[in-house]
Chains A and B, each alone.
Chain A
Amino acid sequence: MSDERKIRILVAKPGLDGHDRGAKVIASAFRDAGFEVIYTGLHQTPEMIVNAAVQEDVDVVAMSVLSGAHMTLFPRVKELLDESGADHVLLTGGGIIPEDDVAALEERGIGRLFGPGTPTTAAIEYVREWFAAQNTA
């Protein structure tokens, strides 16, 4: 890539759950991989996350959800992103999300969702490939 720029990614922790080990690990891994990383901190509403995504003009929003509220939170953030004219932003994430729900969310335009035990390199590679595809299209 000639005009190589850093991928901007918002790592977000939506809902009331405070388990942020995964969010912090993936945020550090993205940073080590050369991404520009913004971490929202805890207990974010979908509105707060989308505001931050728009303000920070990110390419990707990566949400960590372990609370079981994924079927509410992912679609809501996607909906708000689309409404804010940020439908080009990739919404991806990870957490404790049963396979059936992963498939249902992917059908609704959510990117890949990674489960427990995924190496951070798999998520990094996915985001890089997505970004490269966007910029060659």
Chain B
Amino acid sequence: MSTIERELESRSELERTLRERERELADLKARLAEWEETAESTPQRETLFSTISGREVKPLYTALDRTEASDEDDLGMPGSFPFTRGPYATMYRTRLWTMRQFAGFATAEETNERYKYLLDHGQTGLSVAFDFPTLMGYDSDHPRSLGEVGVCGVAISSLADMEQLFDGIPLDQVSVSMTINGPAIILFCFYVAAAERQGVDVSELRGTVQNDILKEYQAQHAWVFPPEPALRCIVDMFEWCSENTPKYNPISISGYHIREAGATAAEELAFTLRNGFEYVERGIARGLDVDAFAPRLSFFFDVHNDFFEEIAKLRAARRIWARGMKEKYGARNPESWRLRTHCQTAGVSLTAQQAENNIVRVAYQAMAAALGGTQSLHTNSMDETLSLPTEKAVRIALRSQQILAFESGVTNTIDPLAGSYFVESLTDDLEAEALELFDEIDALGGVVPGIEQGWFQQEIAASAMRQQREVESGDRVVVGVNHFTEGSEKIEIDTLKIDPDVEKRQVAKMAAMRDDRDGARVRETLDALREACGADENVVPRILDCARAHCTLYEIRAAMEDVFGAYKEPVFF
């Protein structure tokens, strides 16, 4: 055949394929119309057919729901752009997600024991829950800490506490996640200094510090400094970590708290990723090479009740991030495109009524996280609407992950829901909604102006109120709460009680520590830190010096606050 003949041949072949495809579509449309007729004449249950986020779900999805999308562009293969099917090529065939239960209570000593217990029971990473004083940058002996020391997490006020927290746990071998934001840079320095004291090479440290201040202003509210100096500290961390702790994630860009505060799935997705891009812009504005810090940006999402919407959300998140990083921010290293995430089941979905039912809720949510391709997972304990979890409740939560990973079979193949008309359509819709919300945020002038105007806060509160109304009207069924109740809703399970002496012990320990240390060294390092805060200098080395000199959390916070000021919340309600 001549070249021309070959071309004509392939063109007619193409035309034949197109005609065939058109015929198939026409055929599908006809069959769908027929089905619709049947469906319309069949009575339906009187209930909401929408997701918990208020998204209407159609009774049936077909190939017609994705005609415009191209699988090659939108899905790709796992481990390659745009990562919809997973951040890694072989996913759980190579490595299961990290089973990481968030834990902390009372003093460093007691929490250290719980960590050893969890590691002994097959947990593969640690996750530190700090008490409220620590989260807000107050020492255990500060007057504002009264009544809250060690109650909702572990009290860590100095290097000595951090050392005790990881006593006997080699920090070059266990990856540790720390949920701390306002004073994150200070706790991070305590951690690095504790690793130094263990004799560990700090460049070997693996783990994550949450350090996501934007969502604190939007949802979680554990802030210390105003946005601009807080963002500067975060970029200081990006810079310092990329040079000194290259395996450590200096941020976990978190949707979890946004969702728990009331946001919908689409809002969680959009606000979180837009916050992520804000950090990228700040790093670039500092003059950092995007590919030097972006590979260590990590994420944290909620996995709520609506099974498919949550799976689609995680798939859409990877695609939006990859596209933004490559196309908008010019990242060239594929590691910068790859969204890696931790997930936690939805605390807000747990019920105090018939608390054992929570085991089942958590199991479904955990399965959604696995099918969505998470890299690590915390499963909530059944008793967490009553108190911090007991050892037994935590063990069941961890076992739920092990049953999922080793018995259910979901880890055998990668992204098993790909190609589902429904899941792909949901993924497309969530991506489109997130992009629309990006435009709204841009119209406000960006993330920080949106926070200052209270826009995020009001959007989240409005969504929370809508969900509350659905529950109170009984339209949104919550088993054991508004339907299937048992009359007496008396709580029948054991709860964890924190010894009220914890505060006294912690305060006494701090007094002894203050007596022991070199006061002159404390003053010198704090003065040097104040100077660095006012200058064009990375503050991490200065805070590290303070940590090594046994300055306390509040002393360091106060020195920084002298220069940075404190954040004042605009109250919107």
**Chain A: CB-nearest residue to B355:** A116
Q: Does B147 contact A (CB under 8 A)?
A: yes
Identify which of B136, B148, B471 contacts A69 (C-beta below 8 A): B148
From 422 to 479 in chain B, residues with beta carbon under 8 angstroms from any chain A beta carbon are 461, 464-465, 468, 471-472, 478
Chain A residue at smallest Cβ distance from B500: A71
A15-B147 contact in complex given A20-B221, A27-B573, C-beta closer than 8 Å:
yes
Q: Are A98 and B387 in contact (CB under 8 A)?
A: yes
B146 cross-chain contacts in A, Cβ below 8 A:
72
How many Cβ-Cβ contacts under 8 Å join chain A to chain B? 101
A67: B residues at CB distance < 8 A: 132, 148, 151-152
**Given contact pairs A98-B386, A98-B387, A73 touches B147 in the complex (Cβ within 8 A):** yes
Closest to B137 in A: A16
Chain A 68-110 per-residue mask, 1 if CB under 8 angstroms from chain B, else 0: 1101110000000000000000000000101100000000000
Contact assessment for A16 and B464 in the assembled complex, using a CB-CB cutoff below 8 Å: no
B133 partner residues in chain A, CB cutoff 8 A: 16
| Residues of chain A contacted by B569 (CB below 8 angstroms) | 41-43
Chain A: which residue is nearest B352 at the CB level? A116
Distance in angstroms from A8 CB to nearest chain B CB is: 15
Give the size range of A's interface with the partner.
20 to 34
Q: Which of B128-169 contact A (CB under 8 A)?
A: 132-133, 135-136, 138, 144-148, 151-152
Q: Would you call A34 an interface residue if the criterion is a C-beta within 8 Å of the partner chain's C-beta atoms?
A: no
Contact residues in A for B489 (Cβ distance below 8 Å): 117
Q: How far is the CA of A119 from the CA of B133 in the complex (A)?
A: 31
Given known contacts A39-B573, A42-B221, A43-B136, A96 and B386 CB-to-CB distance under 8 angstroms? yes
Determine if B472 and A117 form an interchain contact, defined as CB atoms under 8 angstroms apart: no
A21 at the interface (CB under 8 A from B): yes
Does B220 count as interface, using CB distance less than 8 angstroms?
yes
Q: In whole Å, how far is B226's beta carbon from the nearest beta carbon of chain A?
A: 15
Chain A residues whose C-beta falls within 8 Å of the C-beta of B145 in the assembled complex:
16
Kindly provide the distance from the CB of B483 to the nearest chain A CB, expressed in whole angstroms. 12
Q: Which of chain B's residues 461-510 have a Cβ closer than 8 Å to chain A?
A: 461, 464-465, 468, 471-472, 478, 481-482, 489-491, 495, 498
Query: Which of B465, B478, B481, B491 meets A25, CB within 8 Å?
Result: B465
Interface members, chain B 177-233 (any A CB < 8 Å): 216, 220-222
Q: Given the known A-B contacts A21-B261, A25-B468, are A68 and B498 also in contact in the complex, defined by CB atoms under 8 Å?
A: yes
Taking CB atoms, residues of chain A closer than 8 Å to B352 are 115-117
| Given contacts A39-B571, A98-B386, A45 and B220 within 8 Å (CB-CB) | no
A135 to B385, CA, bound (A): 36
Task: List the B side residues contacting A25 at CB < 8 Å.
Answer: 461, 464-465, 468
Given contacts A28-B465, A98-B387, contact A18 B151 (CB under 8 A): no
Within 8 Å of chain A (Cβ to Cβ): is B341? Answer: no
Residues of A within 8 A of B389 (CB): none
**Segment 115-132 of A: residues with Cβ below 8 Å from B:** 115-117, 119-121
- Identify which of B152, B260, B351, B387 contacts A117 (C-beta below 8 A): B351
Q: Which residue of chain B lies nearest to A23 when distances are taken between CB atoms in the complex?
A: B573
Which of A1-56 touch B at CB < 8 Å?
15-21, 24-25, 27-29, 37, 39-43, 45
Q: Which B residues lie within 8 Å of A16 (CB)?
A: 132-133, 135-136, 138, 144-145, 148, 222
Closest to A26 in B: B468
A20 to B571, CA, bound (A): 11
Residues A18 and B222 in contact in the complex (CB < 8 Å), given A68-B498, A96-B387: yes
- Chain B residues contacting A37 (CB-CB under 8 Å) are 573
Q: Which residues of B contact A43 (CB under 8 A)?
A: 136, 221, 569
30 example contacts (A-B, Cβ-Cβ < 8 A) are as follows: A16-B136, A16-B148, A17-B132, A17-B152, A18-B216, A20-B261, A21-B261, A24-B465, A25-B468, A28-B461, A28-B573, A29-B468, A37-B573, A43-B136, A43-B569, A67-B148, A68-B151, A68-B388, A68-B498, A69-B132, A71-B147, A73-B147, A96-B387, A98-B495, A116-B351, A116-B352, A116-B385, A117-B353, A117-B385, A117-B489
Query: Which A residues have a C-beta under 8 Å from some C-beta of B?
Result: 15-21, 24-25, 27-29, 37, 39-43, 45, 67-69, 71-73, 96, 98-99, 115-117, 119-121
